[in-house]
Amino acid sequence: MKVLIATPAYGGSVFVAYHDSVLRTLAYFQREFPGIALESSILSLSMVTVARNILASQVLADDTLTHLLFIDADMGFAPSLIAKMLAFRKPVVGIVAPQRRLDYEAYHRVRAQVEAPLMARLVANDYVAGDGAVVVERGPAGQPEIEVVDGFVRVTRTGTGILLVERAVLEAMRQRFPELWVATPPDSIRRSGLPEGGLLQCFDQMRDEQGVAIGEDVSFCRRWTEGLKGEIWASIDEGIVHVGQDNYAGRYLSKLEAGKVHLRRREADPSAT
């Protein structure tokens, strides 16, 4: 088994969480799974769709590569996640990752029911490919039921933040969608990271029923599930860090007013010097 860790990193920058996670994963696999080879490819391109297409095509160009593993530059995770994804042995395996924002009203509601602050945040978070993407079935009594297999659930779509794709999936897409295959790519693609082999544009954006372009991740998933009738599974039991930026607004008086310290208020004496 040989896995290509593929990372689109516009501007050539990655976050510390990504850097630490990948280094720990390389060390972990070298120690625990020496028979699994991990290689890395990072592309700094302004168009993430082109970067993903080139990275996927790098796998097809190298007959020794068995898997494509997207890890985006803003993801943090434990090495055990990657080991579980490989051990699950499904053609397409992703994650349900937290979105890079916090619904403070939802957090406030959850805090009334969940005592631990961190747990409350995990519950209050919105998740990429969570609600609306997880496959919900009906139990024996007609109740909503989600099947969890070794910490994985079936989803109709998943993000590409951490996404494991077997080589056979890419080969099947090349055959099923010949219009996406460019046998002899232009020099611009060669210079961008694909020195040999053809270009599989499996992440090109599709359009929905209203003619609106959809994301490259959803486009890939639809080609797999609708065009090739494949399944997608996603990990839900591993902690994921989705690095982002927030505006940390503060007003210290509000904190003091919420505390137990009495505030003795007065107005300044205008005659004082």
Looking at the domain assignment, is residue 33 inside a domain? yes
Q: How many domains, the chain? A: 1
Q: Report which of residues 267 and 185 the model is more confident about.
A: 185
Identify the CATH number of the domain in which residue 142 sits.
3.90.550
Q: Is the pLDDT of residue 156 over 60?
A: yes
SS (H, E, C) the chain: CEEEEEEECHHHCCCHHHHHHHHHHHHHHHHHCCCCEEEEEEECCCCHHHHHHHHHHHHHHCCCCCEEEEECCCEECCHHHHHHHHHHCCCEEEECEECCCCCHHHHHHHHCCCCCHHHHHHHHCCEECCCCCECCEECCCCCEECCCECCEEEECCCCCCEEEEEHHHHHHHHHHCHHHEECCCCHHHHHHCCCCCCEECCCCCCECCCCCECCHHHHHHHHHHHHCCCCEEEECCCCCEECCCCCCCCCHHHHHHHCCCCCCCCCCCCCCC
Confidence band for 207, pLDDT divided at 50, 70 and 90: very high
Euclidean distance between CA atoms 106 and 25, whole angstroms: 34
Looking at the domain assignment, is residue 171 inside a domain? yes
Looking at the domain assignment, is residue 273 inside a domain? no
Looking at the domain assignment, is residue 39 inside a domain? yes
pLDDT score for 104: 80
Q: Report which of residues 261 and 100 the model is more confident about.
A: 100
Q: Which domain range does residue 50 map to?
A: 2-96+133-242
pLDDT score for 3: 99
For residue 242 the two structure tokens come to: 């989705």
pLDDT score for 176: 98
pTM: 0.87
Return left, alpha or beta for 247; rule: phi > 0 is left, psi -120 to 50 is alpha, else beta. beta
Q: What is the pLDDT of residues 122-153, one digit of tens each?
A: 777 778 777 778 888 888 888 888 888 998 98
37 and 43 Cβ atoms separated by less than 8 Å: no
Residue corresponding to tokens 């990429």:
128
Nearest residue to 78 (alpha-carbon basis) of 22, 3, 6, 39: 22
Confidence band for 179, pLDDT divided at 50, 70 and 90: very high
103 and 124 Cβ atoms separated by less than 8 Å: yes
Looking at the domain assignment, is residue 258 inside a domain? no
Looking at the domain assignment, is residue 24 inside a domain? yes
Looking at the domain assignment, is residue 127 inside a domain? no
Average pLDDT, the chain: 89
127: Cα within 13 Å, side-chain hemisphere? 23
Q: Is the pLDDT of residue 256 over 90?
A: no
Specify the range with the lowest mean pLDDT, choosing from 30-34, 82-86, 117-121. Answer: 117-121
37 and 4 Cβ atoms separated by less than 8 Å: no
Looking at the domain assignment, is residue 259 inside a domain? no
